[in-house]
Chains A and B, each alone.
Chain A
């Protein structure tokens, strides 16, 4: 263990009951949100399996819709794991007054919003590109 890590672990988390209750209340709901997210993933997997049975993915556009569904599923699993990790770490940190676990939890919580933000930027760029291509196609007709 590095000296830096050791000093972090020795540094106990300091906050009064009001702040502790606020963090606890927030991350309790973050936990519920992750649980609902995992249940939604389960329903999505069931839908994909049922669609396989129906032969939906054997149609011409079926391949791309399957890839889209799996991609969405992978992102959703990652985001919900991040939320789950944040809530369990923060709640553990509050229980045992561990600064390093608290920091890990907060950094996971930030990662959740960072990933959503980056995905939003990617979607925006794709939309703008599609709009430009559409305008160019319209003008060149």
Chain B
């Protein structure tokens, strides 16, 4: 290799260069075609968001931010979605683990059950929740007998959000957990780690990104939840009127309130997503 004459090496280098150039050119064209063909969809996704942003000035948003209806809706949305995310993670992780590790007969059924709330129209979820947990519902009537009433309360808001949004966390977490190398868990178990310890020190750190991503997804879906909430929890400013409800009703009478809330929802969602992407990217690099 080293012994080859300089002229020979030159021709070979030239050939390689030409090949590389050819390939580069091909990649170049391919890239242009790719960008051009993705433009319509990107424009379609961007234009409505830009239009929304242009429709109301930031100063207007700021001055509206501290009016009662807007502030109430925001704080209600933030508190209920926070509870929803915690509930989904606490009660959803065991389900995700079961889905990821279970090789039992009902696994497909369980998987479908978790999928269902994601494909159902939220209004169906709302009606289903009402006939289950409403005052005259299957479970609700028994709760009512002992003096617990769920419909029209913030509990109903959280239940509606959890029903619709928790599956996003469960599915993502299950996918992440399924990816964890079992040999590592086995090794930890052999070294004497208990089930919880294995999860805490081996499984969870490895599946962390997927679980975190899923939790954010659940939060985003819960924040946008509308149909199930308005049917099951009703609409009372300060108690059950979340941001999407306030936007919907505001659209009909106070367009300013609706636009303000819409802009805030957009900005908040965008910044959280960017932040999460940053965190995840760093984490992945560290792995």
Q: Do A and B bind each other?
A: no
